[in-house]
Amino acid sequence: MRCISDLRQADAALEQISKRATGDEQEKAGKIVESILQGIKAEGDEALARYTEQFDGFKPCPINVSPEILEKAWEETPKKLQQALQLAHQRIKAFHESQIPTDLLIKGIHGEKLGRRWRPVQKAGIYIPGGRAAYPSTVLMNAIPAQVAGVENIFMVSPANSSGQINNVVLAAAHLVGLDKVFRIGGAQAIGALAYGTKTVEKVDVISGPGNIYVTLAKKSVYGKVGIDSLAGPSEVLIIADQTAQVEQVAADLLAQAEHDPLAASILLTTESRLAAALPQEITRQLRENPRAEICMTSLQNWGLIVICNDLESCIKLSNRFAPEHLELLIENPHSIVEKTHNAGAIFIGHWSPEAVGDYLAGPNHTLPTSGTARFSGALGVETFMKNTSLIEFTKTAFDETSDAVMELAKSEGLHSHGESIKIRSSV
């Protein structure tokens, strides 16, 4: 990990980290993704099977996973893990139920009624990554908000291994939340199937869930044809720590992020030079018995950063400019700076709130904005799977009182027929 004490150098380093998923690799991947999407659009299931065999090493026949297999996966899950999944389900559901938006209806000064009505989309597709790790938590974090929103049809896609098997705990999580439309497909081809529809996989209205660069670029390409939650990049954590932070905890929290992916970013902003000096040795110690040490070391070597700041205000400024996905406040009085941290996907307040509790069962969603997009977006939630409709009901009195103003505005924009649609009613 690099260690920097110059704030201008720190700004430049953070800017470089925020752009770590761009470049030539993305351009090459984009061309592959467009070819895959066109194939799915033109050939449907045939292309879906071909791409799955090409990229995942098996022919998906059948493409779907039966409810019986899902139930068996749950039954084979160890009791202690079942209980952990059930606790996570309970907490995530309770939190998201508090998010359900309320319809709005107000009465104007002339008797008109104005409102906004919320309704769920009819069909949602959730993407659950495979590859380096299995993510049953992502099943819960995507399916539960859709269910709470009232979505009637939820389709889950997830890449299988070369034997055609999806991780058993991922399937168990699908059974727990009550999903029965699960498909053994991943990558850009799965996004294409959800966006365009095939004979087997129905076209959906919204796609959510994280994935690799091919999945992200596919979601970007089909956006507008369907809704999406966000364009998730590599994961990241930024920790602000002072003299009260324990080096063992800081190291563990940074490694918890680094183990996700070689492109994951783990950043420490600290006012304590002794913490910065002790951290590399502690990370090395913790990596000795770490089964994902290679991934962690690659991530930390390329995208790890320690910045020594003069004060907490400097830490806050750097953090706000970086806009991290996860922000941990390991300081003596974390509440003193919470209101000053404007840009973050999720804020973990105090020494007893490591990012891992948010990943699994705190309640708020763990699908968060990355790569600086926390400046303008937030976590996946119930509203991701809903849309609002404006309601406008004018009385004759309200119409008469506002018609002149509407005609003036229409005239200013040169829209003759807009004005006429008002004028023709004014004579009634």
- For residues 251 and 355, membership in a common domain is answered with yes
The question of whether 326 is a catalytic residue gets the answer yes
The pLDDT confidence band at residue 24, using thresholds 50, 70 and 90, is: low
- For residues 88 and 212, membership in a common domain is answered with yes
Q: C-alpha angle with apex 277: 275 to 278, nearest 5 degrees?
A: 65
What is the pTM assigned to this prediction?
0.94
Alpha-carbon torsion (390, 394, 399, 402), positive or negative: negative
- Phi, psi dihedrals of residue 215, rounded to the nearest 5°: -65, -45
Tell me how long the chain is: 428
- For residues 61 and 166, membership in a common domain is answered with yes
Question: What value does the mean pLDDT take over residues 178-195?
Answer: 97
Amino acid identity, position 220? K
410 domain residue, yes or no: yes
Q: How many domains would you assign to the chain?
A: 3
The question of whether 416 is a catalytic residue gets the answer no
Q: Which residues pair with 348 in a beta bridge?
A: 328
pLDDT at 127: 97
389 domain residue, yes or no: no
- For residues 7 and 97, membership in a common domain is answered with no
What pLDDT digit, counting tens, does each position of 126-168 carry?
999 986 678 999 999 999 999 999 999 999 999 999 999 999 9
CATH code of the domain containing 76: 3.40.50.1980
Q: C-alpha angle with apex 244: 325 to 379, nearest 5 degrees?
A: 15
What pLDDT digit, counting tens, does each position of 100-135 carry?
999 999 999 999 999 999 999 999 999 999 866 789
Set 236, 326, 328, 355: catalytic member: 326
Alpha-carbon torsion (397, 399, 404, 406), positive or negative: positive
Set 259, 272, 325, 355: catalytic member: 325
Residue 45 domain boundaries: 25-103+118-228
